[in-house]
Amino acid sequence: MSRNKHIFIIGSCSPALGNWEHQLGNAAILIGLLTSIHKYLPDAIVTTKYQLSKGFSDTYRIQSLYVEPTKGFRAYRILITLYNLSLSIIWFFFWKILRLDIKFLRSTRLLNTYSNADIIIDLSGDTYGDNIPFKNFVKHSLELITARFLEKPIVSLANSPGPFSGKFKKFIARITFNNISLITTREPISADLLRSIGVKTPIVTTACPAFLLEPVQEYKLKEILQKEGIEEEYKPTVGFTLGGYNLYSKPTWDIPESLEDLQLYVPVLKFLLEELHAQVVLIPHVYRMDPYSGQMIQGPDYTILKSLSRIISKDVEYKNLKIIEGTYSPQEVKGLIGKMDLYITGRLHAGVAALSQCVPTVLLSYGHKHLGFAKLLNQEKYVWEPSMGPDGLLTIVKQIWENKEKVTEELHKRVPLIKKLAELNVKILKDILDLDKELRICLPNKLLDNWKSNIYKKVSGKVC
């Protein structure tokens, strides 16, 4: 009997406990991916360097492994990365030239985990590039190269890498990506970006696994709406989400130093409240983890949205302006977002929660991924760039509201196809794991052609 397939998930995101759970977008990606893996690879053993709570790990059948220190001196962690790389190069020499497997050369925690894996998934989202410090970018690049020296297939799965500023960073990215087996991007703009810097590794455009997340059951959702004072029958109801990266003067993943940029969003909220007479629901999409209890608590999104609420209500108290006070699971928040008649969001995966339920959505962009996701769904005209200013945002919101029936109809056509693309990520993994080991690193052209033409051709009419 063949042994269970081992899948190891790494990435350039922070591996700290809670990062993949309190950030609901990350959680939606991981839950969607794991659900799909266990559907198509039911016997697979999935491990990750990302630290997850026991409850999450048990629910979604994934095990966190401690393969490197997450604290301590920066130089020490870099030295460990270089040490692992050196050992893998020496092991590669003995294996390639002399066909000797010197096991003690791959006995560190990370190298042993790499060695036991049948395939390594790089799940970095949009962090591999300019969105992380340069030292983290280099460190993750070296970790991927290390896995390659151990003769392991590596798939960059459903990410939006880049941009890469400067020739040196482009050079590192090109070397790294050209030493892995396959890249799937979750939108087409990232695929074009990688090709533009000279990446030759095969690229297949799929879609984000977060599209596969199912919302909570209706009866539980009704309880949440009642608890939060949201009137379910109120029409229209508009959802609104912001994160620190939508305050463009000093963008941050956390709470910005200044909240002055919130003035950008005042005109559109006043339009919704005063002219559309909408029930506006401010919905946080990123929490924090209480270090003592391990429970989710409100995070930067709540602080930003609460400040926006105070600005809007400075002169007039709007009874139809609500903010979600509780913390909820990704499925619960997705169900809540699905009740909106219109959604405006700077958090991309809050937008995925809306779009995947065919809710007309305006994306507030801070990177190329927003436009890329919109292109998959033929929604490019409803992506707002900060250069457009508050008047541009107001124009887009008025336009999408006027065309909401057509937008909803288009989404009903596109979303089922996009979900098939999201599932394609794991079908690709299964096809690779079904190959003989020696074929998993340099994949057969026939397999590549099949992936590129099978589903994606149906979705867009072209091969990416």
* Predicted confidence (pLDDT) per residue in 132-174, tens digit: 999 999 999 999 999 999 999 999 999 999 999 999 999 999 9
**pLDDT for residue 226 is more than 80:** yes
pLDDT confidence of residue 73: 56
Average pLDDT over residues 61-69: 87
pLDDT confidence of residue 449: 86
**In this structure, is the dihedral angle defined by the CA atoms of residues 296, 20, 48 and 444, taken in order, positive or negative?**
positive
Asked if the peptide bond before residue 267 counts as cis, ω within 30 degrees of 0, the response is no
Average pLDDT over residues 409-419: 96
For the entire predicted model, the pTM comes to 0.94
The distance in angstroms from the start CA to the end CA of the chain is: 38
Q: How confident is the model at residue 460 (pLDDT cuts 50, 70, 90)?
A: low
Q: How confident is the model at residue 294 (pLDDT cuts 50, 70, 90)?
A: confident
- Domains parsed from the chain with CATH numbers: 6-211+420-460 (3.40.50.2000), 217-413 (3.40.50.2000)
Q: Which of 305, 338, 312 is nearest to 415 (CA)?
A: 338
More confident residue, 361 or 2: 361
Residue listed under structure tokens 């305006």: 362
Render pLDDT for 72-102 as a digit per residue (tens, 0 to 9).
556 778 889 999 999 999 999 999 999 999 9
Render pLDDT for 233-272 as a digit per residue (tens, 0 to 9).
999 999 999 998 898 888 887 888 888 899 999 999 999 9
Average pLDDT over residues 274-279: 96
Render pLDDT for 376-407 as a digit per residue (tens, 0 to 9).
999 999 999 999 999 999 999 999 999 999 99
Render pLDDT for 300-342 as a digit per residue (tens, 0 to 9).
999 999 999 999 988 788 899 999 999 999 999 999 999 999 9
In angstroms, the CA 32 to CA 210 distance is 5
Q: How confident is the model at residue 463 (pLDDT cuts 50, 70, 90)?
A: very low
φ/ψ (deg, to 5) at 10 = -125, -175
Q: Which of 28, 429, 341 is nearest to 211 (CA)?
A: 28
The residues that bridge with 64 in the sheet, in sequence order, are 48
Percent of the chain with pLDDT over 70: 96
Average pLDDT over residues 349-360: 98
pLDDT confidence of residue 375: 96
**pLDDT for residue 282 is more than 90:** yes
pLDDT confidence of residue 134: 93
Q: What angle do CA 53, 428, 454 make, to 5 degrees?
A: 135
Q: How confident is the model at residue 1 (pLDDT cuts 50, 70, 90)?
A: very low
Other Cβ atoms within 10 Å of 120 Cβ, number: 25
pLDDT confidence of residue 74: 67
Average pLDDT over residues 224-238: 95
In angstroms, the CA 190 to CA 193 distance is 5
How many CA atoms lie within 13 Å of 383's alpha carbon, on the beta-carbon side? 19
| Least confident window among 175-184, 429-438, 439-448 | 439-448
Averaged confidence pLDDT in the chain: 93
In angstroms, the CA 392 to CA 250 distance is 21
Q: Which of 5, 11, 16 is nearest to 46 (CA)?
A: 5
Amino acid at 227: K
Q: Are 109 and 68 within 8 A, CB to CB?
A: yes
The residues that bridge with 10 in the sheet, in sequence order, are 122
